[in-house]
Amino acid sequence: MTIPRHIAIIMDGNGRWAKARNLPKIIGHKEGVEAVKRVVKACLDMKVRYLTLYAFSTENWMRPPKEVMALFQLLEDFIDKEFELFHKNKVRVCIIGERQRIEKRLLKKIENLEKDTINYTDLIVNIALSYGARQEIVNAARVLSEEVKKGRLEPLDINEDMLTERLYTRGQPDPDLLIRTSGEMRISNFLLWQISYEEFYVTEKFWPDFGEEDLRKAIEEYSKRERRFGR
């Protein structure tokens, strides 16, 4: 079985999982956090090097304020309670997305976690938070335009590598495998630049039900595919 170096996951279906059980949506989100822990541990066992999780999009800010607050509280609790998981397993945590909208107290915890795990290399976990791929590309273009404006760069010298190095995921390989749960066939503004040649795998399972065997099944399917990269 060929293990992808980098797996990205659109974690979808928490609300529908809860609705199917006549439970409050927040219970679905809590169970989604448990799925995150299962998948992190499975990636460690299978020697996946990079894992990117779509936790909260820029569009998610349009959800009811009470739900948004609950989601960020879950993230804060996850950071507080899983400190040992990251350090014991040498997991580096990186947050990718727009930070200015995140509440300052939580942002401080996030940045402390990033600093505390910066030297770990067994698994790099990117948490896409307040993330939108279009905005990420716009931000990278703005950085390049400022460098042109200051005379550090000629417009005709700009290439793909230069833009890649100004994205949130700079220094990391592009995803090999993108998994989406809940059966939806959409990218949802996620890693639009980075997934140009990834393999796409969709499962009908809602995210709270996703576990190690589901991850293994996705990787087995990935292993059967011939990646030609347009050649």
pLDDT digits (tens, 9 = 90+) for 150-206: 999 999 999 999 999 999 999 999 999 999 999 999 999 999 999 999 999 999 999
Which residues are CB-neighbours of 10 under 8 A, at least 6 positions away?
54, 178, 179, 180, 181, 184, 187, 188, 190
What is the three-class DSSP state of 107? helix
* Number of neighbouring beta carbons within 10 Å of residue 90: 13
- Amino acid 12: pLDDT: 97
CB-side neighbour CA atoms (13 Å) of 141? 7
pTM of the full structure: 0.95
Confirm if 58 and 189 have CB atoms less than 8 A apart.
yes
Structural fold of domain 6-132+174-223: Undecaprenyl pyrophosphate synthetase (3.40.1180)
What are the backbone dihedrals phi and psi of residue 37, each rounded to the nearest 5 degrees, phi first? Answer: -60, -40
pLDDT digits (tens, 9 = 90+) for 45-98: 999 999 999 999 999 999 999 999 999 999 999 999 888 899 999 999 999 999
Which residues are CB-neighbours of 23 under 8 A, at least 6 positions away?
none
Q: How far apart are CA 183 and CA 97, in angstroms?
A: 25
- Please give the positions annotated as active site: 12, 60
pLDDT digits (tens, 9 = 90+) for 128-158: 999 999 999 999 999 999 999 999 999 999 9
In this structure, is the dihedral angle defined by the CA atoms of residues 137, 11, 52 and 27, taken in order, positive or negative? positive
- Amino acid 229: pLDDT: 66
- Average pLDDT of the segment spanning 6-27: 97
- Average pLDDT of the segment spanning 94-123: 95
- Average pLDDT of the segment spanning 8-26: 97
Confirm if 198 and 8 have CB atoms less than 8 A apart.
yes
Q: How far apart are CA 16 and CA 161, in angstroms?
A: 40
